[in-house]
Amino acid sequence: MIRLIRGLYLSYNFFIAILVIVVLFVLGFPYPFMFMVAQGALALLLAIFGLELFLLFVKKNPVWGKRTVASPLSMGDDNPVKIQVQSKYNFPVRIVIYDNLPGQLQIRNLHFSDFFSPEVTKQFSYTIHPTERGEFHFSDIFVYVSTLTHFVQRKVVVKQKEMAASYPSIIQMKQYELKVFAKTAISGIKKIRRLGHNNEFEQIKNYVQGDDIRTVNWKATSRRNELMVNQYQDERAQNIYSIIDKSRAMRMPFNELTLLDHSINSTLAFSNVCLRKGDKVGLMTFSDKLGTKIAAERSQRQLTRIMELLYKQKTRFLEGNFEMLYHGIRNHIKGRSLIMLYTNIESEYSLKRILPLLRRINQLHVLVVIFFENTEVAKAAQMEPKHVRDIYLKTFAEKYAMDKKKVALELRKSGIQTVLTTPEKLTVDTINKYLELKAKGAI
């Protein structure tokens, strides 16, 4: 279509019709009958053009529209977007809808089209997949209306400018909450049964009506010659800290998200599970220096605080300073805690530099080091070589994968809990390790 004036567009069919009429005039010039046919066709075209122009522009606000965006958006997930459009015309029209999406999505030609009866509202849906945190600005919706022969189209701008913030994945957080607390095991979450009581022993007391008969202490009963029961107090909430490495090693991308983004999504889901389990959760980030610090709490607003701070995190293109991390833990984390350290140890050489510091942290707390397998390297290690170049590539990939396993083995030899996982399984493996340690009473 071609713009004629503001809000008025002519379709290519209109210009084809003009061309046909011009040909009729040229061919019919020597023949009066053909010339009259050409004149009639031109008159009919102008009449249709005028009628469509009048019908389309007679109303001031001919179309109503509304966009509904999930707020906040969940990074790394498919987020639904709905557009509702209603025709205010008293006759059927064809409407083409163009939505103007945020530049980060790189989607330039998203449109829908349909025929609308008078006063009918229709809904169109699609999904967007944010791969970064931050503000996503949606612009106005452009609507093109036509009727009859569709020679003329009227452009209507539906004012729908809005901003939606992309946060760490709330969708995944809710999914894993359901998986952990469901009565049946779902999708890799291990249902680990804790041995013994879920409460801590407090004292032995005389039995009173209403006490649980299962808590009777028969040895004390025989000594006192009266019924005695064990009394328990609620288990104290334990401190759980997620520490995220923001150094350049976490900038590596996997499945459109960086390792930092995968760690942030996992931390939010993991923190929610810990809070639901009755523990206190905190957060710390670091790179070449200490970043965000949140003391462990189990208040209702703690998850919101963690989500807001995770939303603001960015990679720093420097090496991680583990010595500063050690001193930060000594100064800011009081009392023995479970520390989930998200980092990316690339080689045995990298491990040798930081292992003494990790051991010292592990003496003060229960340390779990979470680092990543390179899935692309794993694929290369499993390929069938066809050329000499493929043999070199496969050998290098196997050595790299073996180095990762050696790093995990060395950490375990030092008494440090380890999770070597892929970005896809990060949250599941992290939650399973937490449930395992909690069931063993290690924290």
Which one is predicted more confidently, 14 or 441?
A: 14
| Alpha carbon distance 438, 424 (integer Å) | 23
CA atoms within 13 A on the CB side of 315: 20
Three-class SS state of 313: coil
Instruction: Please report which confidence band the pLDDT of residue 195 belongs to, taking 50, 70 and 90 as the band edges.
Output: very low
Helices (H), 277-374: 302-311, 322-332, 348-364
Q: Are 110 and 54 in contact (CB under 8 A)?
A: no
- Measured CA to CA, the distance from residue 93 to residue 35 in angstroms comes to 34
Neighbours of 148 (CB within 10 A): 16
% of the chain residues with pLDDT over 90: 56
How high is the pLDDT of residue 200?
A: 55
Distances in whole angstroms, Cα of residue 363 to Cα of each of 251, 300, 333: 30, 31, 13
Q: How confident is the model at residue 1 (pLDDT cuts 50, 70, 90)?
A: low
d(CA 282, CA 287): 18
| pTM of the predicted protein model | 0.81
Residues 279 and 281: their CA atoms lie apart, in Å, by 6
CA 394 to mean position of chain CA atoms? 33
Q: How much helix, strand and coil, in percent to the nearest 5, is found in the chain?
A: 40, 30, 30
In the predicted model, what is the mean pLDDT of the chain?
88
Cα separation, 443 vs 417, in Å, equals: 12
- Count, in order, helices (H) and strands (E) of the chain: 11, 22
Q: How confident is the model at residue 196 (pLDDT cuts 50, 70, 90)?
A: very low
146: its two tokens: 């036509």
Higher-pLDDT residue of 286 and 335 is 286
352: Cβ–Cβ under 8 A, 6 or more apart, which residues? none
Share of the chain above pLDDT 70, in %: 93
What is the distance between the alpha carbons of residues 400 and 405, in angstroms, rounded to a whole number?
Answer: 9
Average pLDDT over residues 223-244: 83
